[in-house]
Structure formats: C-alpha cells, structure tokens
Amino acid sequence: MTQIFLSLGAILGGLSVAIGAFGSHILRSKISERSLEIFSTGVRYQMFHALGLLIVALLLTRMESPPTTLVTSGWLFIIGVVIFSGSLYALSITGIKSLGAVAPFGGLALMVGWGALAIAAWNWQ
C-alpha cells in the first residue's frame, strides 16, 4: 500500500502542477474569470491532498501494524481528489452547471479522509 500511495501522491502532485500551468497559460484566455477561479480551486485541493497522501504513505512506513483507518484515509484522499477536483475541472471547462453538484461528494470524501487520518494518529502506539 505504501508504494501505491507514494506513487499516486507524487503523480497527483505533478499533475496538479501541469494542470495548473494549463489553466494559467492556455485556459486564461478561453474561459471566464469565475471559471478560472473554480479551476484553480481544483488544482489547489489536488496539491494539498497529494501531499496528504504522501504523509499517509510515510506514516505507513513508520507503523508496525498500521490501522485500517490510515489506509482508508489514503483511499479517501484519492477518491476525493478524483471526484472533487475532477468535477471542478470539468465544470470550469465545459460550463455544465450540474457538474457542480458532484463536487460536494468529493469534498465529503476528503473530509472523511482527514478524519480517518486523525483517528489513525490518535490510536498510534
């Protein structure tokens, strides 16, 4: 699991830089300022949670028998980024307003992921 989380954390982090550059250099002249703001929120949350996923992976290497809540938090970060950031990217590029209704599900996954990480940390021995 550690290798998967380290790899995906690095990939999500690198992609957030690439996607951010795409938004800044290519989309800036093609979408509205509000859409660019929404796009940037997706990039920012993707990077934060890529770093969170790297923290989860590093904690997995430090624990003799990691709690399931730690592994759960890693998967929730991945799922949350895909749903939250992905829906914001799609919303800002396509303008399809109903995609905005999907983002809260990703946000919920991210919040529960942080909660699971907190529980894992609290129970760390």
Two structure tokens written together for 123: 């129970």
Instruction: State the helix-helix crossing angle for 33-62 and 2-22, rounded to 10 degrees.
Output: 160
Percent of the chain with pLDDT over 90: 92
What's the pTM?
0.94
Q: Tell which residue, 62, 65, 51, 63, has the closest CA to residue 113.
A: 51
Question: Could you give the angle at the alpha carbon of 105 between the alpha carbons of 38 and 46, nearest 5°?
Answer: 50
Asked whether the predicted pLDDT for residue 125 surpasses 90, the reply is: no
Give residue limits of the domains in the chain.
2-122
pLDDT in tens, 11-62: 999 999 999 999 999 998 899 999 999 999 999 999 999 999 999 999 999 9
- pLDDT of res. 104: 97
- pLDDT of res. 83: 98
Instruction: State the helix-helix crossing angle for 103-122 and 68-80, rounded to 10 degrees.
Output: 160
